[in-house]
């Protein structure tokens, strides 16, 4: 990794002066973010991170002094051309030609693995991760929370795979419960086999809405209960109706997920864990963890003082299981089946309590691996409506974003030559949705705005796609760059240096996202990369420049496009080549 060889070189010099092993220093040396004020160093060492017993009350002027003293003891060499002290930091500027040569060679050589091969990841063990995400409820709205869960889970899975981990993607469907009693009765009254086959999600939802209007009727209530009881007793005819609902829904989900560029290794669901949930209740009873309340429900005491001040209800008074009981069964089953190192649940933050309880109960049951379960939560999205009104189905969102994008594209002059405008509009539109969603902390709520998401300038997914397409056509126009004979002395302009410095930082950004599973670090990196590229596109023309200058610039733009594409793919975006 380009940054890696520079970090190692700086660390080895520091280790002699500070008398510390170089590997202890590598993580304290970070690439400096590019500044609009222009000249910044390439790397900095934070003094506080290497001084032993540096307590937080260590005075700023002491750190400043120590930085100065350390900078004076270090010497420039063939790699480092300038060393200076900053506020509590020592700054290192890399030899400019070496910087250009190393970065370009590394991006060229590593291709799609640029950044992930960094030594920052060398101490991270390769693991097996199970990620549960998306998880819609059959016959209910696929609401915007499910869309967030889908794209966030997909990002985490992509990132882990890129870093060499093994990932199992699980979609845990809401495919069981009393609503299937109602749905069964509703289908017998209002259902149509043709509509079920042609648009299952839509039709089941309509049936569910209709029967719900009559759900207060005692007779309907009784019929629904009977239908669900038959389901639980494995009555063949009832089961085959349920199975048809489930299978046709999954078929349609798969088609829609494909539009999103998302796939799952396993479609699981609550229905899988009916029997196993009963086994869990038996285990809880055997371990003395299941307590009965006056109403006859079963609870697990989670309070510290064991005074029932915090309990989790795991059983109804009639002995049937609840959602959390089925989740317990699923977690245990996945451990047996996949023997994973980490399991991640991606849902909105309203379920934080549920997962706290889930992990606590698993721990009380003696499963130490509960420590390795993680809930990645996200905030709520307000204001997402299509032109027809409230969003009910994911497909409505995808169609809406595609048609709005297509409209925007047709109104610009350059769109006419695109081979497949509809598909391009879909990919650009998706990028717009994903970037608007990933720009902030996942846990924050945000107000959705079509206009803001689809702007072609500014910090949007449309701008990233536009930058990628523009750089791609630059390469098409001038032939592909060849790295072998690049004269790096031609890449010394400030705008070229800024791009090279930014490319240098990519591994650190990936590392940050891998630590906290937040996509915003990568988003902000790619937006800056695109803004820097837009400036350089104007100030460093390829056309009309001397051949060796043109060739060097083409190489630089190729490297930028390559890293931009890598980052976009991690986020779940398919880069377009025309726009």
> Residue 53: pLDDT above 70?
no
Task: Give the pLDDT mean for 160-180.
Answer: 94
Confidence band of 1 (pLDDT split at 50, 70, 90)? low
Confidence band of 279 (pLDDT split at 50, 70, 90)? very high
CB–CB of 545/558 below 8 Å? no
User: pLDDT digits over 354-373, tens only?
Assistant: 999 999 999 999 999 999 99
> Residue 300: pLDDT above 70?
yes
Residues ≥6 apart with Cβ < 8 Å to 194: none
CA distance 41 to 80: 10
- Predicted local distance difference test score (pLDDT) of residue 411: 81
Class of the CATH domain delimited by 128-271+339-382: alpha beta
How many angstroms separate the Cα of 261 from the Cα of each of 5, 150, 166, 272, 572? 35, 10, 19, 26, 7
Q: Of 35-44, 97-106, 162-171, 334-343, which range is least confident? A: 35-44
Q: Which fold has domain 2-94?
A: Gyrase A; domain 2 (3.30.1360)
User: pLDDT digits over 136-148, tens only?
Assistant: 988 877 777 788 9
Structure tokens at 206: 């309509």
> Residue 331: pLDDT above 60?
yes
Q: What is the residue extent of each domain of the chain?
A: 2-94, 128-271+339-382, 394-571
Name which residue leads in pLDDT, 484 or 452: 452
- Predicted local distance difference test score (pLDDT) of residue 456: 81
Helix (H) or strand (E) holding 8: helix 2-18
Task: Give the pLDDT mean for 148-155.
Answer: 96
Closest CA to 248 of 286, 201, 208, 205: 201
Structure tokens at 363: 């721990």
Task: Give the pLDDT mean for 196-203.
Answer: 89
Q: How far is CA 366 from the centre of its chain?
A: 31
Q: Within the chain, how many helices (H) and strands (E) appear?
A: 22, 16
Residues involved in catalysis = 140, 143, 146
Please determine, looking at this structure, whether the domain spanning 394-571 carries the CATH number 1.10.10.60. Answer: no
Pairing of strands 342-348, 373-378: parallel
User: pLDDT digits over 373-404, tens only?
Assistant: 999 999 988 877 766 666 667 888 888 889 99
What SS3 class is residue 290? strand
CA distance 300 to 283: 12
Mean pLDDT of the chain: 91
> Residue 200: pLDDT above 80?
yes
- Predicted local distance difference test score (pLDDT) of residue 62: 83
Task: Give the pLDDT mean for 206-232.
Answer: 89
> Residue 298: pLDDT above 90?
yes
Confidence band of 60 (pLDDT split at 50, 70, 90)? low
What is the share, in percent, of the chain residues with pLDDT greater than 90?
69
CA distance 560 to 503: 7
- Predicted local distance difference test score (pLDDT) of residue 109: 93
* Confidence (pTM): 0.93
- Predicted local distance difference test score (pLDDT) of residue 387: 67
> Residue 503: pLDDT above 90?
yes
CB–CB of 432/460 below 8 Å? yes
CA distance 18 to 488: 34
- What own/partner pairs with CB < 8 Å and gap ≥ 24 does 336-342 have? 338/128, 338/130, 338/168, 339/128, 340/127, 340/128, 340/129, 340/130, 340/168, 340/372, 341/125, 341/127, 341/128, 341/129, 341/372, 342/127, 342/128, 342/129, 342/130, 342/372, 342/373, 342/374
CB atoms within 10 A of CB 379: 17
> Residue 308: pLDDT above 70?
yes
Q: Of 38-52, 152-166, 324-338, 347-361, which range is least confident? A: 38-52
Name which residue leads in pLDDT, 434 or 483: 434
- Predicted local distance difference test score (pLDDT) of residue 388: 65
**For residue 166, what are the β-bridge partners?**
128
CA distance 519 to 346: 14
Name which residue leads in pLDDT, 81 or 62: 81
> Residue 152: pLDDT above 90?
yes
């Amino acid at each position: 990794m380009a940054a890696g060889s520079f970090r190692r070189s700086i660390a080895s010099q520091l280790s002699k002066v500070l008398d510390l092993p170089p590997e202890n220093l590598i993580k304290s040396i970070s690439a400096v973010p590019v500044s609009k004020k222009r000249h910044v160093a390439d790397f900095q060492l934070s003094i506080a991170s290497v001084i032993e017993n540096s307590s937080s009350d260590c005075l700023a002027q002491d750190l400043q002094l120590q930085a100065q003293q350390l900078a004076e003891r270090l010497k420039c060499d063939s790699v480092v051309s300038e060393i200076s002290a900053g506020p509590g930091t020592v700054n290192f500027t890399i030899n400019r030609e070496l910087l250009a040569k190393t970065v370009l060679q590394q991006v060229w050589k590593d291709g799609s693995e640029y950044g992930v091969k960094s030594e920052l990841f060398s101490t991270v063990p390769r693991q097996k991760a199970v990620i549960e995400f998306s998880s819609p409820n059959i016959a209910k709205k696929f609401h915007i929370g499910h869309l967030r869960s889908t794209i966030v889970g997909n990002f985490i899975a992509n990132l882990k795979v890129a870093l060499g981990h093994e990932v199992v993607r699980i979609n845990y469907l809401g495919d069981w419960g009393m609503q299937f009693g109602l749905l069964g009765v509703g289908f017998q009254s209002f259902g149509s086999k043709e509509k079920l086959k042609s648009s299952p999600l839509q039709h089941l939802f309509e049936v569910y809405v209709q029967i719900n209007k009559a759900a207060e009727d005692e007779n309907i209530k009784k019929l629904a209960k009977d239908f669900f009881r038959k389901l639980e007793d494995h009555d063949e005819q009832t089961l085959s109706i349920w199975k048809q609902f489930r299978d046709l829904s999954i078929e349609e989900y798969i088609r829609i997920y494909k539009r999103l560029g998302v796939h799952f290794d396993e479609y699981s669901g609550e229905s899988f864990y009916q029997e196993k949930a009963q086994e869990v209740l038996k285990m809880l009873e055997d371990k003395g963890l299941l307590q009965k309340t006056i109403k006859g429900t079963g609870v697990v005491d989670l309070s510290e003082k064991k005074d029932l001040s915090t309990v989790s209800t795991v059983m109804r008074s009639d002995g049937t299981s609840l959602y959390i009981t089925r989740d317990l069964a699923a977690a245990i089953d996945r451990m047996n089946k996949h023997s994973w190192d980490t399991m991640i649940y991606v849902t909105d933050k309203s379920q934080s309590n549920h997962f706290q309880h889930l992990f606590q109960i698993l721990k009380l049951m003696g499963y130490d691996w509960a420590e390795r379960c993680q809930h990645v939560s996200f905030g709520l999205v307000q204001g997402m409506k299509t032109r027809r009104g409230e969003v009910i189905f994911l497909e409505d969102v995808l169609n809406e974003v595609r048609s709005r994008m297509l409209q925007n594209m047709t109104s610009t002059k350059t769109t006419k030559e695109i081979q497949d405008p509809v598909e391009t509009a879909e990919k650009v539109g998706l990028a717009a949705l994903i970037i608007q969603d990933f720009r902030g902390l996942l846990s924050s709520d945000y107000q959705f705005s079509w206009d803001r998401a689809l702007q072609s300038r500014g910090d949007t997914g449309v701008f990233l796609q536009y930058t990628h397409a523009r750089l791609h056509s630059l390469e098409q126009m001038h032939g592909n760059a060849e790295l072998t004979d690049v004269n790096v002395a031609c890449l010394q302009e400030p705008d070229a240096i800024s791009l090279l410095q930014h490319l240098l930082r990519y591994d650190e950004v990936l590392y940050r996202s891998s630590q906290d599973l937040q996509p915003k670090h990568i988003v902000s990196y790619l937006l800056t990369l695109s803004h820097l590229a837009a400036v350089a596109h104007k100030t460093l023309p390829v056309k009309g420049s001397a051949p060796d200058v043109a060739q060097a610039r083409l190489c630089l733009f190729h490297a930028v496009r390559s890293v931009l594409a890598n980052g976009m793919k991690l986020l779940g975006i398919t880069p377009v080549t025309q726009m």
